[in-house]
Amino acid sequence: MLKNRFIPIVTKLSVLTSIIILVVLIVTGLISYSKLSEFGYRFNGEHTKTVVNFALHAINGDSLEVVIKERNDSSAYANYLRTELMKIRDMAEMKYLYTFFFNNNGKYEYAIEGGDQNSDDYSQFGSVAEWSVDDDLPYIERAIKTKEISYTKIMYNETYGWMVTSYAPILNSNGKVVALLGCDIEAEHVVKEIKKYRTSVIITGFLLLVVSVLFVVYFISRSVKVIQCITQITTRLSEGELNLHAECKTNDEFGLLAKSVNKMIEHLQSIVSTIHSNSDLFVAESTAVKGISNQLAEDANKQAAVAEEVSSSMEQIKSNIENNSENAKQAEQISTSTTKTLGEVVDATRTSIDSIKLINQKIAIIEEISRQTNILALNAAIEAARAGEYGRGFSVVAAEVRKLAERSRVAANEISEISNRSVDLSMEASQKLEELVPEIEETVSMIKEIAHASLEQNYGIDQINTAVVQLNDITQHNAQTAEELSNAANQLAEQSDELKKSIAFFVNH
């Protein structure tokens, strides 16, 4: 529950600042208190050290050593020393000024003290000094070891109260430590002053803390007002309201933040206005793209169908051209055969002329020649019939030759009478045949050209058919692309509608 609890930033900053100020005040107070305590300790220590130094000049180490050995505190020197130490104590306003020594039993005993022997707080000669191992003994041992004056910190004793003590070694003429001089000064007033200072530091620190917190809360509250204003604006902005403006007249980071928020709102207003004004056009254009893509897909499908029909027609044309080419080849063969046969007929006619000239002499040969001529004429008629229009004239000639051959066979006796006329007719037939041969050869050449052209047409048809197949593939690819474009246009139209609805969230507020 505490994690989700709303804590104002003013409270957070105030608490944080208060903690920091409190820590600073505590640290500062502790340092000041420590420094003051150290100063009081050093002041009293140095004061006792000065008194001890002064008192050492009144002490004769050899004489004191004799008093200690004889344990006679009533001797003239003992009384003298007691009087001098009391004068110095009273003059320096010390609590106690005394001498003591280390006996054979490992204990410290008092020797001569500056004071009234009859007073209650006077330390009699030979009385054992009860010192704390942790408080006094370390300083006593240091004075003995270093043969220099040492003084304690401010310490509390239940009997004597707050005290600071200095210890100085007393040396004989041989430089041996025969006793020690102790000087006690009351530190009660120092402790009281330190306590007063501590109390004043605490009170002053508390007042500074209160004043600082008030100032911090005041300035933070002013700054947080800007943040609260910006928070309200961003909240209303998240709800779709754009007619907003952050008011802040401070010349600091919060003022810059407010100006930045205002610029952001202005840019957002411009963007929303632009998108809203263009959203309808965007939707219309996406719809138009959708229609165009659908039309493109339909046209592509039609083009693919037409390409299929063209491909089928080209296959049919190719088949017809192949048939024509084959027929041309056959016609070429027939024409070649006819030309050869005509050559043979010409030769036979010439032979017939020669035979007619010799008919009178070789009548027996006439029948054979007539029979052969009849056969040749029959073959020629067949070939002429095959030649068609071009062989029509040749067919007539062949018929006449056959008639001549028949008449030669039937009327062998009349051959000699009509031999001259037959010679003439044969010459005429030979001449016509010789004229027909070049025409037939020209026909053969034309048929060859037709066959060659058919081959070229067939090659061209193959190329066209290949191109049609490629065109069909491209058309199918275009149809697929158009379909994808149509789907993309549909998605674009849907997104345009969603964008329009989203922008309407800001426009309608």
Whether 63 maps to a domain, the answer reads: yes
Average pLDDT over residues 343-369: 73
Instruction: Taking each helix axis as running N to C, give the angle between helix 392-410 and helix 415-507, from 0 to 180 degrees, rounded to the nearest 10.
Output: 160
Whether 56 maps to a domain, the answer reads: yes
Place of tokens 């969603």: 498
Which amino acid is it at 230?
I
Taking residue 444's Cβ as centre, other Cβ atoms within 10 Å add up to 19
For position 373, what pLDDT does the model report? 81
CB contact set of 40 (below 8 Å; sequence gap of 6+): 154, 187, 190, 191, 193, 194
Whether 176 maps to a domain, the answer reads: yes
- The answer to whether residue 466 scores a pLDDT higher than 80 is yes
Taking residue 401's Cβ as centre, other Cβ atoms within 10 Å add up to 25
For position 2, what pLDDT does the model report? 46
Q: For residue 190, what are the domain limits?
A: 9-211
The DSSP symbol for 124 reads -
Report how far residue 506's alpha carbon sits from residue 268's, in angstroms, rounded to the nearest whole number: 10
Report how far residue 404's alpha carbon sits from residue 348's, in angstroms, rounded to the nearest whole number: 13
Whether 502 maps to a domain, the answer reads: no
Question: Which pTM does this prediction carry?
Answer: 0.38
Report how far residue 196's alpha carbon sits from residue 472's, in angstroms, rounded to the nearest whole number: 109
Average pLDDT over residues 453-482: 76
Question: Which pair of tokens denotes residue 395?
Answer: 């067919």
* Bridge partners, 170 (sequence order): 179
Helix (H) or strand (E) holding 254: helix 253-357
Do the Cβ atoms of 265 and 245 come closer than 8 Å? yes
Whether 303 maps to a domain, the answer reads: no
Which of 173-177, 244-248, 346-350, 454-458 has the largest mean confidence? 173-177
- How sure is the predictor about 1, in pLDDT bands with cuts at 50, 70 and 90? very low
Whether 287 maps to a domain, the answer reads: no
For position 379, what pLDDT does the model report? 84
Report how far residue 9's alpha carbon sits from residue 14's, in angstroms, rounded to the nearest whole number: 8
Whether 438 maps to a domain, the answer reads: no
Average pLDDT over residues 356-385: 77
Using DSSP's 3-state secondary structure scheme, residue 7 falls into: coil
Do the Cβ atoms of 264 and 233 come closer than 8 Å? no
Exposure of 113 by Cβ count < 10 A (0-12 exposed, 13-18 middle, 19+ buried)?
buried
Q: How many domains does the chain have?
A: 1
Place of tokens 């709303």: 6
Give the largest CA-CA distance in the chain: 221
Do the Cβ atoms of 171 and 178 come closer than 8 Å? yes
- The answer to whether residue 4 scores a pLDDT higher than 60 is no
Place of tokens 């090659």: 459
Whether 159 maps to a domain, the answer reads: yes
Which of 87-101, 117-131, 361-375 has the largest mean confidence? 87-101
Give, in order, the Cα–Cα distances in Å from 317 to each of 7, 343, 458, 462: 92, 38, 9, 10
Length, in residues, of the chain: 509
Higher-scoring residue by pLDDT: 244, 97: 97
- The answer to whether residue 344 scores a pLDDT higher than 50 is yes
Mean pLDDT, all residues of the chain: 77
98: CATH = 3.30.450.20
- The answer to whether residue 178 scores a pLDDT higher than 90 is yes
Average pLDDT over residues 41-54: 80
